[in-house]
Chain A
Amino acid sequence: MNLILPVIDRKKCTLCRDCIDACGLHALAIQNERVIFIEPDLCNYCADCEGVCAQGAIRVEYEIGW
């Protein structure tokens, strides 16, 4: 089953590492000059990475329903 993860917009990302530093679960890293989920299973969708990204490059999305 595909794990739902935050979406990273590569065009907006400046590789500043703020999201990597903010992720308390160490799910993010830079590899081949891209920020990726190096440990996707660790990501708990807390949206801390989205909160620190000054470029708005990370989207943690929710659909709202019953």
Chain B
Amino acid sequence: MKTDLFHDLRRLSSFTNLSADDLKKIAAASINKTIPAGEIILHEGDEAQSAYFVLSGKVEVFRLALSGREQVLALLSAGQGFNTAPFFLEEKHNPASVRTLEQTTVMAIPAMQFLSLLNNIPDFNRIVMRDYSQRLKQLTNKVEDLGLYSVRARLVRFLLEQADQKEIPVRWTQDEIARQIGTVRDVVGRSLRTLEQEGLIQIRRQCIRLLDRLRLEKIANSE
């Protein structure tokens, strides 16, 4: 229902600067959908039909190689957008695939309505630009990671980032870690065992405990 969507939008911190009027216009132009965990919302390469914002839940944006290997480009949560860029390009295709990581509610804005909202609501335009800027920064960091650092350094950087983040800890499988850092599961497993043998981490059931920040940061920054 549009009223529900209006209230969902009001709760998003990234949308707090919008007036009630503007929120109602956005809600009127959009459809909200709740999608179970593990489902694909968009396939890379399909014709782009809508821009999306996450209202609740979590999604991952990824690219898929012909070999079947996946590279995660971004993890998005409430307030963040995806598939907002293709409508400014010649080829209007989804640039990546998107999958839900948990039950997720998204707001889908069809292409023409999305462009119209951008033209007519400057504050919404700014929200989309801020989202692009954050995405660009994340992707730049990802390119730096993948291009300039070894798998071992990327793994250590990932471990440090996860250990230091303040939110509720996420549980990762080795395969999910591999997809984040651009390698395969076996390499993650071997690298973790090596780090443990070097006394840098401790691997227990359901827990990877980092032990030596100084040495880990040295590996993260120099390899």
Contacts and interface: CB of A to CB of B under 8 A. Distances in A.
Interface in B159-214: 159, 162-163, 169-175, 185-186, 189, 203-210, 213
A62 B163 contact: no
Contacts, number: 59
Interface residues of A, number: 15
Contact of B162 (A45, A51, A59, A64): A64
Nearest to A53: B175
B162 A47 contact: no
Contact of B172 (A51, A64, A66): A64
Contact of B208 (A3, A50, A56, A63): A63
Contact of B206 (A56, A61, A66): A61
Contact of A61 (B159, B173, B189): B173
Nearest to B205: A4
A59 to B, nearest CB: 5
25 contacts: A4-B206, A45-B205, A45-B206, A50-B173, A51-B174, A51-B185, A51-B186, A59-B173, A60-B174, A61-B171, A62-B172, A62-B203, A62-B206, A62-B208, A63-B171, A63-B172, A63-B207, A64-B162, A64-B169, A64-B172, A64-B208, A65-B162, A65-B163, A65-B207, A65-B210
